[in-house]
Amino acid sequence: MRKVIVILMLLAIASTALAVDLSNSRQTPIKRGAPDLSNTGTPDNREGGENIGTAFPIGALPFADTGNTCDNLDDYDEACTYTGSTSPDVVYMFTPTGNTVITVDLCGSGYDTKTYVYDAGMMTVACNDDFYFDATCGTYVSYLEATLTGGQTYYIVIDGYGGDCGDYVLNVDEFEVCVVDCPADAVLEGEPHLGPDYVDTTNGGCNSDPNVFQAIDWINVEPGNPDHGYAWLCARSGWYTNLGSDTRDTDWYRFTAATTGMMEFTVTSELPVQMYVLNTDCANILVIDSALTAPCTETTITMAVNAGDQYLLWVGPPTFTGPVTEFRYYMKVGGNSYNTVPNEDSTWSQLKTQFR
């Protein structure tokens, strides 16, 4: 199993102002002010086709390519969720031999990308503007999953937000199905199955009214350290519709640190999820650390905690729509003395206004 470790070494907890969206309903916020509608142009002949008529054919998967969109025209645009873009775009063409799910990944691209997939009738199959927000893959860089029918032709468009253009890195591959197996002694999250008009009363945190957080109970012993406990939890996340809005299931967990020292927050998920370590004030949420997982990749945040302080752990999809209704993830929190967290409600006022 692959492992990713994010280490945050702090003498004291230092929180940063919230610059992320922790809400569960689809948003259309202003991104970086007004769109940049300029196109500086960098002719270098490194790109896919100019339009659908000249789309570059993808013969087989996996497929990788690099290019630059700045010397192209603005032929297409889709809203996901931002409108009004005038960015130049390039097009690739793919005809699968059988039914499949593909990933279109622009990790490593150097500008604010957007990507979407059309079928032969120019209907949008999938669309994504912002997925990655990190130093490795880039900020406002796109990723999507699309379900394709064998024998049908599809067009993959590499576009941008506003008028942004630049170097892109494209990887198209078949979606790797993974299954998360939870240990037999893991605690079950207990959340009902997701579906239309679902209301999260299990652990919706600051997105629920009233706020509700799931307590982390230390049920296992850390190997080689009987004084420290591990919380093992098997949970589900995913997507649903509520009052006509695309909605993601956001899971909020709370614990109190019994000792001052280092703790680990680990998630292994069947689909990508975002992980956040937060403070507990819904009216003024602060991000302590974060990480983005890949499917079936064990991802760990190592964090400094102070005895007696409370913390929130947030797990949820990075996007507001997804390829499935729900999926499983396995969460492990370790390095803390055995402690049961009370489950009082908190208040939340400003976060709704800011991030809904």
Task: State pLDDT tens for residues 51-105.
Answer: 999 999 999 999 999 999 999 999 999 988 788 899 999 999 999 999 998 999 9
Residue 38: which residues within 8 A CB-CB, separation 6 or more? 163
pLDDT at 12 over 50: no
Q: How far apart are CA 260 and CA 304, in angstroms?
A: 8
Structure tokens at 140: 């406002």
2-24+200-355 and 52-174 have identical folds: yes
3-state DSSP helix/strand/coil % of the chain, to nearest 5 = 5, 45, 50
Residue 136: which residues within 8 A CB-CB, separation 6 or more? 107, 108
Q: Where are the beta strands (DSSP E) in 259-346?
A: 261-269, 274-278, 286-292, 297-305, 310-316, 326-337
Q: How far apart are CA 22 and CA 273, in angstroms?
A: 12
Which CATH number is 52-174 given? Answer: 2.60.120.380
Domain ranges for the chain: 2-24+200-355, 52-174
Q: Residue 217 in contact with residue 332, Cβ under 8 Å? A: no
Residue 195: which residues within 8 A CB-CB, separation 6 or more? 240, 325
Task: State pLDDT tens for residues 36-51.
Answer: 655 555 555 557 899 9
Across the beta sheet with 113-119, the strand order is 56-58, 90-94, 154-160, 113-119, 124-128
Residue 255: which residues within 8 A CB-CB, separation 6 or more? 215, 216, 231, 310, 311, 313, 333, 336, 339, 341
If you classify domain 2-24+200-355 with CATH, what class do you get?
A: mainly beta
Point out the least confidently predicted range of 95-109, 176-190, 325-339: 325-339
